[in-house]
Amino acid sequence: MKNLFQRMIVGLILACVANFSWAYLKNDTIQSRKTFVTMVKQWERETVDPYMVARTYVFDAETSTPYRPNTAGGHENSMFAWRLNQTRFFSVVSSYVPDNDPIEGCENYRRDDINWEGPHCGWINKRNLVCHLFMLTEQGQIAGIGRIEIGRDKKLIQGKPFCYDIKAMTAPKEIEDSMLITLSYIDSAAQADPRSEPDELPMTVLMRFKQDTDGKLIITQDEQCLSNPNRIASIADARKVLKARGCR
Protein backbone atom coordinates (compact mmCIF):
# COMPACT_ATOMS: atom_id res chain seq x y z
CA MET A 1 0.00 0.00 0.00
CA LYS A 2 2.84 2.32 0.85
CA ASN A 3 4.58 1.62 -2.47
CA LEU A 4 1.34 2.23 -4.34
CA PHE A 5 0.86 5.56 -2.57
CA GLN A 6 4.45 6.56 -3.37
CA ARG A 7 3.97 5.67 -7.03
CA MET A 8 0.81 7.76 -7.12
CA ILE A 9 2.66 10.74 -5.64
CA VAL A 10 5.54 10.36 -8.09
CA GLY A 11 3.11 10.06 -10.98
CA LEU A 12 1.28 13.20 -9.87
CA ILE A 13 4.55 15.13 -9.60
CA LEU A 14 5.68 13.99 -13.06
CA ALA A 15 2.32 14.93 -14.53
CA CYS A 16 2.54 18.41 -13.01
CA VAL A 17 6.09 18.87 -14.28
CA ALA A 18 5.08 17.71 -17.76
CA ASN A 19 2.13 20.09 -17.87
CA PHE A 20 4.29 22.93 -16.53
CA SER A 21 6.92 22.57 -19.25
CA TRP A 22 4.30 21.79 -21.90
CA ALA A 23 2.63 25.17 -21.34
CA TYR A 24 5.74 27.14 -22.24
CA LEU A 25 6.43 28.64 -25.61
CA LYS A 26 9.80 27.18 -26.51
CA ASN A 27 12.23 26.89 -29.40
CA ASP A 28 11.83 23.86 -31.63
CA THR A 29 14.53 22.01 -33.53
CA ILE A 30 15.23 22.56 -37.23
CA GLN A 31 16.84 19.77 -39.24
CA SER A 32 18.19 21.95 -42.05
CA ARG A 33 18.51 25.68 -41.50
CA LYS A 34 18.91 26.46 -45.22
CA THR A 35 15.87 24.44 -46.26
CA PHE A 36 13.82 25.89 -43.41
CA VAL A 37 14.63 29.52 -44.29
CA THR A 38 13.80 28.88 -47.96
CA MET A 39 10.41 27.46 -46.96
CA VAL A 40 9.56 30.36 -44.62
CA LYS A 41 10.61 32.92 -47.24
CA GLN A 42 8.26 31.32 -49.75
CA TRP A 43 5.38 31.44 -47.27
CA GLU A 44 6.26 35.03 -46.52
CA ARG A 45 5.93 35.95 -50.19
CA GLU A 46 2.67 34.05 -50.54
CA THR A 47 0.95 35.00 -47.28
CA VAL A 48 2.69 37.75 -45.30
CA ASP A 49 3.53 40.14 -48.14
CA PRO A 50 -0.07 40.37 -49.46
CA TYR A 51 -1.30 40.93 -45.91
CA MET A 52 1.12 43.85 -45.41
CA VAL A 53 0.50 45.43 -48.82
CA ALA A 54 -3.25 45.41 -48.22
CA ARG A 55 -2.75 47.19 -44.89
CA THR A 56 -0.04 49.68 -45.80
CA TYR A 57 -1.11 53.25 -45.22
CA VAL A 58 -1.74 55.29 -48.37
CA PHE A 59 -0.40 58.83 -48.07
CA ASP A 60 -2.00 61.69 -50.02
CA ALA A 61 -4.83 59.37 -51.07
CA GLU A 62 -6.87 62.29 -52.44
CA THR A 63 -4.11 63.60 -54.71
CA SER A 64 -3.42 62.59 -58.29
CA THR A 65 -0.33 60.64 -57.19
CA PRO A 66 -1.10 58.82 -53.91
CA TYR A 67 1.89 57.18 -52.26
CA ARG A 68 1.99 53.72 -50.69
CA PRO A 69 5.38 52.93 -49.07
CA ASN A 70 7.13 49.68 -49.82
CA THR A 71 7.03 46.85 -47.32
CA ALA A 72 10.23 45.32 -45.96
CA GLY A 73 10.88 41.63 -46.39
CA GLY A 74 11.28 39.39 -43.39
CA HIS A 75 14.49 39.42 -41.43
CA GLU A 76 16.16 36.06 -42.01
CA ASN A 77 17.44 35.97 -38.45
CA SER A 78 13.83 36.12 -37.22
CA MET A 79 12.88 32.83 -38.87
CA PHE A 80 12.65 30.10 -36.23
CA ALA A 81 10.49 27.13 -35.26
CA TRP A 82 8.56 27.16 -31.96
CA ARG A 83 6.29 24.93 -29.92
CA LEU A 84 3.23 26.11 -28.02
CA ASN A 85 0.71 23.70 -26.53
CA GLN A 86 2.10 20.85 -28.65
CA THR A 87 1.57 22.90 -31.83
CA ARG A 88 4.43 23.94 -34.08
CA PHE A 89 4.70 27.51 -35.37
CA PHE A 90 7.21 29.43 -37.47
CA SER A 91 8.21 33.04 -36.85
CA VAL A 92 9.19 35.85 -39.18
CA VAL A 93 9.44 39.58 -38.47
CA SER A 94 8.44 41.80 -41.39
CA SER A 95 7.80 45.54 -41.61
CA TYR A 96 5.37 47.95 -43.20
CA VAL A 97 3.78 51.37 -42.56
CA PRO A 98 0.41 50.58 -40.93
CA ASP A 99 -0.75 54.13 -40.21
CA ASN A 100 0.18 57.79 -40.23
CA ASP A 101 1.24 59.24 -36.91
CA PRO A 102 2.78 62.55 -38.00
CA ILE A 103 5.52 64.16 -35.98
CA GLU A 104 5.49 67.81 -35.05
CA GLY A 105 5.43 69.94 -38.19
CA CYS A 106 4.16 67.17 -40.48
CA GLU A 107 0.47 67.29 -39.59
CA ASN A 108 -0.49 69.15 -42.79
CA TYR A 109 2.18 67.78 -45.12
CA ARG A 110 1.22 67.06 -48.74
CA ARG A 111 3.68 65.89 -51.36
CA ASP A 112 2.14 68.13 -54.00
CA ASP A 113 2.81 71.26 -51.93
CA ILE A 114 5.70 72.83 -53.87
CA ASN A 115 6.01 75.58 -51.26
CA TRP A 116 6.47 73.21 -48.31
CA GLU A 117 9.08 74.53 -45.87
CA GLY A 118 8.66 72.12 -42.98
CA PRO A 119 10.57 68.94 -42.05
CA HIS A 120 11.39 66.21 -44.57
CA CYS A 121 8.02 64.59 -43.89
CA GLY A 122 7.92 62.52 -47.08
CA TRP A 123 11.23 60.88 -46.25
CA ILE A 124 10.15 60.27 -42.67
CA ASN A 125 6.87 58.67 -43.78
CA LYS A 126 8.66 56.43 -46.25
CA ARG A 127 11.03 55.08 -43.61
CA ASN A 128 8.45 54.67 -40.84
CA LEU A 129 8.58 50.88 -41.07
CA VAL A 130 6.98 49.14 -38.09
CA CYS A 131 8.12 45.61 -37.28
CA HIS A 132 5.43 42.96 -36.89
CA LEU A 133 5.99 39.49 -35.52
CA PHE A 134 4.17 36.99 -37.74
CA MET A 135 3.63 33.47 -36.46
CA LEU A 136 2.84 30.97 -39.20
CA THR A 137 1.29 27.52 -39.07
CA GLU A 138 2.96 24.46 -40.55
CA GLN A 139 0.79 25.08 -43.61
CA GLY A 140 2.16 28.59 -44.04
CA GLN A 141 -0.95 30.43 -42.86
CA ILE A 142 -0.90 33.35 -40.42
CA ALA A 143 -1.70 32.11 -36.91
CA GLY A 144 -1.07 35.40 -35.11
CA ILE A 145 0.49 38.84 -35.46
CA GLY A 146 2.12 41.04 -32.85
CA ARG A 147 2.92 44.68 -33.60
CA ILE A 148 6.27 45.69 -32.11
CA GLU A 149 6.03 49.23 -30.81
CA ILE A 150 9.14 51.39 -30.47
CA GLY A 151 8.59 54.52 -28.43
CA ARG A 152 9.95 57.77 -29.77
CA ASP A 153 12.60 59.29 -27.51
CA LYS A 154 12.89 62.84 -28.83
CA LYS A 155 16.28 63.18 -27.15
CA LEU A 156 17.63 60.43 -29.43
CA ILE A 157 15.82 60.84 -32.76
CA GLN A 158 14.18 63.63 -34.73
CA GLY A 159 11.76 61.51 -36.73
CA LYS A 160 9.91 58.30 -35.96
CA PRO A 161 11.65 55.02 -35.09
CA PHE A 162 12.52 52.98 -38.17
CA CYS A 163 12.57 49.30 -37.15
CA TYR A 164 15.79 48.27 -38.82
CA ASP A 165 17.07 44.81 -37.83
CA ILE A 166 16.37 41.79 -35.63
CA LYS A 167 19.38 40.73 -33.57
CA ALA A 168 18.14 37.81 -31.44
CA MET A 169 14.99 35.97 -30.35
CA THR A 170 14.31 33.46 -27.60
CA ALA A 171 11.59 32.08 -25.36
CA PRO A 172 12.75 32.86 -21.81
CA LYS A 173 12.11 30.04 -19.36
CA GLU A 174 11.54 32.57 -16.59
CA ILE A 175 8.28 33.82 -18.13
CA GLU A 176 5.59 31.50 -19.41
CA ASP A 177 4.37 31.85 -22.99
CA SER A 178 6.58 34.79 -23.95
CA MET A 179 9.30 35.77 -26.40
CA LEU A 180 12.20 38.18 -26.06
CA ILE A 181 13.26 40.01 -29.22
CA THR A 182 16.36 42.18 -29.41
CA LEU A 183 16.23 44.60 -32.33
CA SER A 184 17.75 47.81 -33.58
CA TYR A 185 16.14 50.93 -34.98
CA ILE A 186 17.34 54.10 -36.67
CA ASP A 187 16.04 57.65 -36.99
CA SER A 188 13.61 57.90 -39.91
CA ALA A 189 14.49 61.60 -40.23
CA ALA A 190 18.17 60.90 -40.93
CA GLN A 191 19.09 61.56 -44.54
CA ALA A 192 20.16 58.63 -46.70
CA ASP A 193 23.86 58.22 -47.35
CA PRO A 194 24.80 55.51 -49.87
CA ARG A 195 28.02 54.89 -47.96
CA SER A 196 26.52 54.31 -44.52
CA GLU A 197 23.31 54.20 -42.50
CA PRO A 198 22.69 56.23 -39.35
CA ASP A 199 23.63 54.79 -35.98
CA GLU A 200 21.53 51.86 -34.84
CA LEU A 201 19.84 52.12 -31.46
CA PRO A 202 19.22 48.89 -29.49
CA MET A 203 16.02 47.75 -27.83
CA THR A 204 14.60 44.49 -26.47
CA VAL A 205 10.87 43.78 -26.27
CA LEU A 206 8.85 41.16 -24.41
CA MET A 207 5.99 39.65 -26.42
CA ARG A 208 3.37 37.58 -24.58
CA PHE A 209 1.33 34.79 -26.18
CA LYS A 210 -2.17 33.47 -25.64
CA GLN A 211 -3.96 30.88 -27.75
CA ASP A 212 -7.66 30.85 -28.57
CA THR A 213 -9.66 27.65 -28.68
CA ASP A 214 -9.54 27.83 -32.48
CA GLY A 215 -5.72 27.86 -32.41
CA LYS A 216 -5.28 31.56 -33.23
CA LEU A 217 -2.51 33.33 -31.34
CA ILE A 218 -2.98 36.62 -29.52
CA ILE A 219 0.38 38.38 -29.27
CA THR A 220 0.84 41.51 -27.17
CA GLN A 221 3.84 43.57 -26.13
CA ASP A 222 4.48 43.86 -22.41
CA GLU A 223 5.69 47.41 -21.75
CA GLN A 224 5.47 47.07 -17.98
CA CYS A 225 8.25 44.51 -17.63
CA LEU A 226 10.42 46.11 -20.33
CA SER A 227 9.86 49.85 -20.73
CA ASN A 228 9.33 51.38 -24.15
CA PRO A 229 11.68 52.59 -25.42
CA ASN A 230 14.68 51.05 -23.71
CA ARG A 231 18.36 50.65 -24.47
CA ILE A 232 18.60 46.94 -23.67
CA ALA A 233 21.01 45.54 -26.24
CA SER A 234 20.96 41.80 -25.49
CA ILE A 235 18.76 38.93 -24.36
CA ALA A 236 21.01 38.40 -21.34
CA ASP A 237 20.59 42.00 -20.18
CA ALA A 238 16.83 41.78 -20.70
CA ARG A 239 16.67 38.70 -18.48
CA LYS A 240 18.49 40.59 -15.74
CA VAL A 241 15.93 43.39 -15.93
CA LEU A 242 13.03 40.92 -15.83
CA LYS A 243 14.52 39.22 -12.79
CA ALA A 244 15.16 42.52 -10.99
CA ARG A 245 11.55 43.61 -11.61
CA GLY A 246 10.12 40.26 -10.52
CA CYS A 247 8.26 39.76 -13.80
CA ARG A 248 6.43 36.45 -14.32
pLDDT for 16-54, tens place per residue?
A: 333 333 346 888 887 799 999 999 999 999 999 999 999
**Range name among 5-14, 64-73, 173-182, 199-208 with the lowest pLDDT average:** 5-14
Average pLDDT, the chain: 87
Distance, in Å, from the CA atom of 46 to the CA atom of 41, rounded to the nearest integer, reads 9
Mean pLDDT to the nearest integer, 221-225: 97
Better-scored residue on pLDDT, 246 or 30: 246
Average pLDDT over residues 45-64: 92
Q: Decide if pLDDT at 13 tops 60.
A: no
> Do 132 and 166 contact (CB within 8 A), yes or no?
no
Closest CA to 199 of 212, 189, 211: 189
Q: Are 129 and 165 in contact (CB under 8 A)?
A: no
Map the chain to HEC letters: CHHHHHHHHHHHHHHHHHHHHHCCCEECCCCCHHHHHHHHHHHHHHHHHHHHHHHCCCECCCCCCCECCCCECCCHHHCEEEEECCEEEEEEEEEECCCCCCCCCCCCCCCCCCCCCCCCHHHHHHCCCEEEEEEECCCCCEEEEEECCCCCCCCCCCCCEEEEEEEEEECCCCCCCEEEEEEEEEECCCCCECCECCCCEEEEEEEEEEECCCCCEEEEECCCCCCCCCCCCCHHHHHHHHHHHCCC
Between CA 244 and CA 248 the distance in angstroms is 11
| 139: confidence class by pLDDT, cuts 50, 70, 90 | very high
pLDDT at 191 over 80: no
Q: Is the pLDDT of residue 225 over 90?
A: yes
CA distance 222 to 30: 28
Q: In this predicted structure, what is the pLDDT of residue 80? A: 95
Q: How many CB atoms lie within 10 A of CB 60?
A: 17
Give the dihedral of Cα atoms 102, 107, 111, 112; nearest 10 deg: 170
- pLDDT mean over 61-65: 83
- Nearest in space to 52 (alpha carbons), one of 126, 130, 122: 130
- Output the pLDDT for position 42: 96
Q: Output the pLDDT for position 4.
A: 46
Would you state the pLDDT for residue 192? 64
Q: What pLDDT score does 10 carry?
A: 39
